[in-house]
Structure 1
Amino acid sequence: MRMNKKIFDKIRFFIFLIGLAMSMAACSGKEAVLLEDSDLVREQGLDEEKTGFPAAEKESAKQVEESTLFVHICGEVEKPGVYELPEGSRVYEAVEEAGGFTEDAAADYVNLAQILEDGWKVEIPSKEEQTEVFAGIADDGRVDINTAAKEELLTLPGIGESRAESIIAYREKSGGFSRIEDIMKVEGIKEGMFAKMKDKICVRGVR
């Protein structure tokens, strides 16, 4: 019986040691977790000290910044200026932000469905400016050889810089063309070239 009691006491002692070891290990694990949390708090605190808001909010703000764009809208709008819009916005949304068109705006000239890009300048012309721009273009899209600017003449088949200047010089000297066939009086323009452009030119009032 004495021997059994000694063995029993030893077993109890070993169980005590095992329990103590497990308890110490558990405490060490909790301490490690607390230390990790403390490091995380200090790290976030450092970000907050530098930026004014925690790291998570900083990342969120960065995403918001990347999803917007800035455009400059001017001309015939009520409130010209630079506006911040969501990425993927279209011209009509920029016009709305700027208070809408003025009464003199050439609204039909603008492609309101165009998707905007960051840094764009959108200029809304007046009705008078639109008329000046298209002074050399008839309603059906043909080029009026009596009023067309050099840039408009360059859109015609076979017309380069030199021939465009010759057309302008001829009409200024002669007082203009009375019919489209008269363009063949300009040096360098013959029947073959006229045949390619005759459906693309006009003299106002002449079909």
Structure 2
Amino acid sequence: MWRDYWQRYRRFWWVPCLVIILLGGGVFWQHSRQQRFLSTNQQLMAQSTKRKVKAKPVKQKKSVSKGGFVDIKGAVAHPGIYPICVAKTRLFEVLKQAGDVTEAADTSQLNLAQTLSDQLIIYVPTKGEAVQAEELVKAADEPQAATDNQAGAGPISTDAKINLNQADATQLQTLNGIGPKKAEQIIAYRDEQGQFKQIEDLQKVGGIGPKTFEQLRPQICVN
């Protein structure tokens, strides 16, 4: 029986061999293709990782606020000098630093939302006190001593009291809270009403109330 099969089909002996070769070749080709695919993916991943490592992180610029100080006077719990962030800190915030305003304070004359700059003098008035708007929040006056000496004026002693009946505008501006306009008002009052008879008469000048006067009392005198 086997001999009959062999005699009949022996001329086709190469067919099984060809099938085996084709199957083996297909398996080998598929395996090689997968290896090449994996190798390519690994190379791409390695290159991507290198790019990430080489990429420099972008540095974010930090916004640095310029610092400064303001001098708070008047109807607050703790008058004094307080730090601020220039153009960021608002008036109501720095008043809280000073322990907030007193019950006698009149905040209706102030812009509590105002942003602050360095070296401001802030005065919180009391109820019923008339204060000019420019005197509530103002920049510190520049020192006048050097200019006065160059002009031939005698040096002003910071320890001596200012005589309200003799002081000129420059000398009056050395007083705390007295700027150019208030100095002119004091001189105008003196010219129109005569000399001050007592230092309390200074309160008759517009814009100088009891609080301001109490701050000036140790610094002034009359003949």
| TM-score computed with the length of structure 2 as normaliser | 0.39
Larger Rg: 2
| TM-score computed with the length of structure 1 as normaliser | 0.41
